[in-house]
């Protein structure tokens, strides 16, 4: 069974000021509940002021991800986000060290993490270079699920977390589950799934066929030779 951790932020008081969000708790908690309904394990649930940027930062960069994001199999993060200069930044509502975590300071999978879902704007921004943004993050991490362009914060689409968690936890193909449940024509939500492989054929196979417990092994960062992604728009 997979261990599942979630962090979500709706409130952004000073000094981490951002526009208020309303449904990040529902998307992340829904994901964890969906996974748990299929027998997977709730590991942690940190929201608003209890969610810390350091939970996603590698210890080599002064962070604590080996006790949190990189100590579980699947992480779901829901908040504001954006990509600039080939760096993704995810926003937090409380500054312990910082108000944002950066993709260039993350090293996922060198302990445990295999799958990362970023329910945040431009987390896999296809208008930029997503390989340059995320390549250094894959140290055993297998897949990232995110969005290109903006993503809705709406009661209408907040159920995507639970729906994805239920299907992922039921051993469905992860890319299909994410693209189906993350997409919204009416809200213009365009999901992306990206997988790492040792070569092109391996990356394509993992992208299209990876499931929880599906038998694909972890790949050290030095042996990642290709990335493959699919999206829906």
Residue ranges covered by each domain of the chain: 3-231
pLDDT digits (tens, 9 = 90+) for 141-169: 999 999 999 999 999 999 999 999 999 99
Residue 225's pLDDT is 98
Q: Which residues contact 201 (CB under 8 A, 6 or more apart)?
A: none
Residue identified by tokens 């990206």 is: 194
Phi, psi of 89 (to 5 degrees): -120, 130
What is the CATH number assigned to the segment(s) 3-231? 3.40.50
> Where are any strands of DSSP class E within the chain?
3-8, 41-47, 74-78, 81-84, 87-91, 100-102, 115-119, 143-148, 190-197, 226-231
Query: Could you tell me how many residues make up the chain?
Result: 233
Residue 12's pLDDT is 98
Residue 222's pLDDT is 97
Residue identified by tokens 């993050």 is: 137
Which long-range contacts (C-beta less than 8 Å, at least 24 apart) are formed by 202-205?
Answer: 202/226, 203/227, 203/228, 204/228
Q: Which residues pair with 76 in a beta bridge?
A: 6, 117
- What residue ranges of the chain have pLDDT lower than 50? none
Dist CA 13 CA 169 (whole Å):
34
Q: How many CB atoms lie within 10 A of CB 49?
A: 14
Closest CA to 3 of 77, 68, 49, 93: 68
pLDDT digits (tens, 9 = 90+) for 44-81: 999 999 999 999 999 999 999 999 999 999 999 999 99
Closest CA to 145 of 155, 163, 156: 163
């Amino acid at each position: 069974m997979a261990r599942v951790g979630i962090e979500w932020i709706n409130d952004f008081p000073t000094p981490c000021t951002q526009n208020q969000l309303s449904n990040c708790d529902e998307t992340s908690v829904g994901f964890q509940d969906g996974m748990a309904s299929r027998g997977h394990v709730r590991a942690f649930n940190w929201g608003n002021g209890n969610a810390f940027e350091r939970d996603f930062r590698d210890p080599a960069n002064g962070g604590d991800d080996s006790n949190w994001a990189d100590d579980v199999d699947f992480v779901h993060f829901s908040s504001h986000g954006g990509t600039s200069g080939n760096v993704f930044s995810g926003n937090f509502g409380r500054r312990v060290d910082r108000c944002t975590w950066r993709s260039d300071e993350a090293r996922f999978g060198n302990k445990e993490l295999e799958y990362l879902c970023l329910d945040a704007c431009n987390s896999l921004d296809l208008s930029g270079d997503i390989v340059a943004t995320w390549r250094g993050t894959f140290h055993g991490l297998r897949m990232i699920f995110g969005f290109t362009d903006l993503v809705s914060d709406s009661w209408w689409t907040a159920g995507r977390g639970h729906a994805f968690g239920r299907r992922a936890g039921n051993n469905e193909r992860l890319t299909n589950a994410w693209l189906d449940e993350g997409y919204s024509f009416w809200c213009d939500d365009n999901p992306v799934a990206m997988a790492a492989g040792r070569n092109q054929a391996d990356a394509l196979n993992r992208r299209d066929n990876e499931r929880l417990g599906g038998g694909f092994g972890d790949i050290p960062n030095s042996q990642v030779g290709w990335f493959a992604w699919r999206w829906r728009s």
